[in-house]
């Protein structure tokens, strides 16, 4: 599977270079000209990334997530879901690497085929890091507001939590 993902990247790289060359294009010159645009974009994003990643890092270190998990305990008990999923549901929209390391901890602790590990794997793979994506795509553009981006995206994140529980109950 890792091979399949890696293969698609390599195949796309080789295909584009080969098709361009066969068509008689100066492929390397085109590549470097395009790559120069990347420089500008990445530098424009640096202030956005410093602001956001610092805030996320603080949020994770502060212990606020653990406090929230405790507060949500009655809810998970009522629905009959393992409370170990709550930290992931809260962490997922903020931090991609944080979610992966939490899921890995669950694999190590309960086994990769346990119910909670499967639920976590499904939830973590079914959404993106919402706040990071919103900040990266809108960062440095000088907009006054990003309108309803965050509420709409969070609707999707909540739906993913509900759907992953439902999906496992329906299809096992």
Site for another protein in 8-47 (CB under 8 A): 8-9, 12-13, 15-17, 19-20, 23, 25, 27, 30-39, 41-43, 45-46
- Residue 95 backbone phi and psi in degrees, to 5: -140, 115
160 binds another protein (CB under 8 A): yes
- The tokens describing 135, both together, are 């900040």
Residue 92 is given by DSSP the state T
Nearer to another protein, 80 or 145 (CB): 145
Q: Per CB under 8 A, which of residues 126..145 are in contact with another protein? A: 126-131, 133-138, 141-145
Interacting residue with another protein among 85, 98, 102, 157 (CB under 8 A) = 157
Half-sphere exposure of 134 (CA within 13 A, CB side): 18
149 binds another protein (CB under 8 A): yes
Work out how close the CB of 76 gets to another protein at its nearest, in angstroms, rounded to a whole number. 18
d(CA 167, CA 153): 20
In sequence order, what DSSP letters do the residues of 148-161 get, joined into one string?
THHHHHHHHHHHHH
């Amino acid at each position: 599977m890792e091979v399949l993902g890696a293969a698609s990247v390599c195949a796309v790289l080789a295909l584009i270079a080969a098709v361009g060359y066969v068509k008689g294009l100066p492929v390397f010159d085109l590549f470097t000209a395009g790559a120069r645009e990347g420089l500008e974009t990445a530098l424009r994003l640096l202030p956005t990334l410093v602001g956001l990643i610092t805030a996320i890092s603080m949020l994770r270190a502060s212990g606020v997530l653990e406090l929230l998990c405790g507060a949500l305990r009655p809810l998970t008990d009522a629905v009959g879901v393992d409370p170990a999923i709550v930290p992931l549901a809260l962490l997922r929209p903020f931090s991609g690497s944080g979610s992966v390391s939490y899921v890995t901890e669950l694999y190590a602790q309960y086994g990769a085929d346990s119910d909670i590990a499967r639920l976590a794997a499904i939830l973590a793979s079914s959404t993106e890091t919402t706040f990071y994506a919103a900040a990266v795509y809108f960062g440095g553009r000088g907009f006054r507001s990003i309108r309803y981006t965050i509420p709409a995206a969070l609707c999707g994140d909540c739906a993913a939590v509900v759907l992953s529980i439902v999906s496992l109950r329906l299809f096992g």
